[in-house]
A = this chain, B = another copy of it.
Amino acid sequence: MPRCPHVVVVGGGFAGLQAARCLRRENVRVTLVDKRNYHLFQPLLYQVATGGLSPANIAVPLRRILNKQRNCETLLAEVVDFDLDHNRLLLADGALEYDFLVVAAGASQCYFGNEKWQIHAPSLKTLEDASVIRRKIYFAFEAAERETSTDMRKSWLTFIIVGGGPTGVELAGAIAEIARETLRYDFRHINPSDTRILVVDSEPHILSMYSERLAIRAANKLQMIGVEIMNCCRVCDVQNDSVTIRDSNGQTSRILTKNILWAAGVSANPLGRNLAAAANGDVDRSGRVVVDGYLRMGSDNVFAVGDMACVKNQSGHTLPGLAPVAMQQGKFVANVICRLVSHQALPPPFEYRDPGSMATIGRAAAVAVIGHREFYGFTAWLLWLTVHLFGIVLFQNRMQVLAQWSWNYLTFSRSARLITGVEHPRIGNGTEVHDQAAH
């Protein structure tokens, strides 16, 4: 009897987890390697960042998801490089041999060469990021309450969100609700509804992946709840207390603000470059690994999937970094591996079946596209709610999120609005909160 092939999956996100689970009935050994001990339901991360949900509501221990899968083990470890010639994965503290390798290490935020902006303009990709942003948002109101200079107070109450994609729009909508509703009665020296919220986007419309019609409706809704939108604008400088913006005419303006959030641009995990180098392959502009129709990298036994892979659809567009793309790729690769193991013919190359996409704009409003149908407003929001609730992996989390959402919806409350992770926040003395040990 031949020995059981070893499939190593790097990353427990949507793509990696799906690949591991789809191999559960096959005659292979699966090892899932992740530097985190949990699967993160990233589409709801903005709710943690705005205090609507707790981290544990959207993060599920990987071991718990996989504990009944007999042919799978989970490893908490950090991958540092690939030795494809010897079928070895190099860890920060060891190595791991494989017969098949599935790399699904995801993506992180991209500052387009201005990584130094990150300290003043945090982005939202991990639970730690969400804590930083949550602290930043709620601390700003505390600081404004104590501030005596009118200009400084205005600066604390100005939120700039860079990027008008789904994350930027979701953050802006949530901050508007916090300012207008959640904190309404909480302060004595400021009126939280004086808060200025700006979304800066380089495209002519926010949510540029949607039709112009939907994008305009979304923009109108945002403006209705008090969010200003600056289209065709780019950020050209970020400081501790300001952001400088250049519009399409080349004119720059500087806006004083203590709160800049970065939701523009994504680049693949740096491991993508290592993988491409090891396989003599290429990466695209965003650092994503260029793969063939079977999501392979040169070698027959190495696959890249999810946000890390550059895959084109039939019309030649690169597939976006969305959960359904990642999950379909994970499932596809599992199928390819099964067939290789059992010496069957390969299936046709990967093809993405678009189940639709959606984004929330704020309380009870969303945009959604399913097939050729567009939805807007409350209907789209109900769709969004249902899809996201069912997307969450475990039954218990689903119930928690449903209960929390119902409560938040009825009471406008956000109970998880804790400023944690900093021993002594200080106001007005130049010490920035995010300069200190984070999360």
Say whether B127 contacts A420, CB under 8 Å: yes
Say whether B397 contacts A78, CB under 8 Å: no
Does chain B have a CB within 8 A of A180?
no
Does chain B have a CB within 8 A of A116?
no
- Give Cα distance in the complex from A415 to B145, angstroms: 36
Q: Smallest CB-CB separation from A73: which chain B residue?
A: B188
Say whether A61 contacts B418, CB under 8 Å: yes
Does chain B have a CB within 8 A of A3?
no
- Give Cα distance in the complex from A421 to B57, angstroms: 17
Does chain B have a CB within 8 A of A378?
no
Say whether B421 contacts A439, CB under 8 Å: yes
The digit string for A125-159, where 1 denotes a CB below 8 A from any CB of B, is: 00110000000001100100110000000000000
Q: Is the interface of A mostly helix, strand, loop or mixed?
A: loop
Of B54, B145, B403, the contact of A56 (CB 8 Å cutoff): B54
Does chain B have a CB within 8 A of A437?
yes
Q: Smallest CB-CB separation from A75: which chain B residue?
A: B146
- Give Cα distance in the complex from A63 to B425, angstroms: 16
Of B68, B75, B76, B416, the contact of A419 (CB 8 Å cutoff): B76
- Give Cα distance in the complex from A93 to B428, angstroms: 7
Stretch at the interface among A32-40, A289-297, A331-339, A340-348: A32-40
Q: Chain B's nearest CB lies how many Å from the CB of A417?
A: 5
Does chain B have a CB within 8 A of A59?
yes
Say whether A407 contacts B396, CB under 8 Å: yes
Which B residues are in CB contact (< 8 Å) with A61?
Answer: 186, 415, 417-418
Does chain B have a CB within 8 A of A92?
yes
Which B residues are in CB contact (< 8 Å) with A254?
Answer: none
Say whether A426 contacts B78, CB under 8 Å: yes
Q: Smallest CB-CB separation from A60: which chain B residue?
A: B415
Of B92, B142, B403, B424, the contact of A429 (CB 8 Å cutoff): B92
Does chain B have a CB within 8 A of A369?
no
Of B68, B75, B187, B424, the contact of A35 (CB 8 Å cutoff): B424
20 further A-B contacts with Cβ under 8 Å, apart from A55-B418, A76-B142, are A37-B419, A54-B54, A56-B415, A56-B418, A59-B418, A61-B186, A61-B418, A64-B186, A68-B185, A76-B139, A76-B419, A76-B427, A77-B146, A77-B427, A94-B428, A128-B420, A396-B413, A400-B400, A400-B403, A400-B404
21 contacts between A and B (CB under 8 A): A35-B423, A35-B424, A37-B138, A37-B419, A38-B419, A54-B55, A54-B57, A55-B420, A61-B186, A61-B418, A63-B187, A73-B188, A76-B427, A78-B426, A92-B429, A93-B427, A93-B428, A127-B418, A400-B403, A437-B437, A437-B438
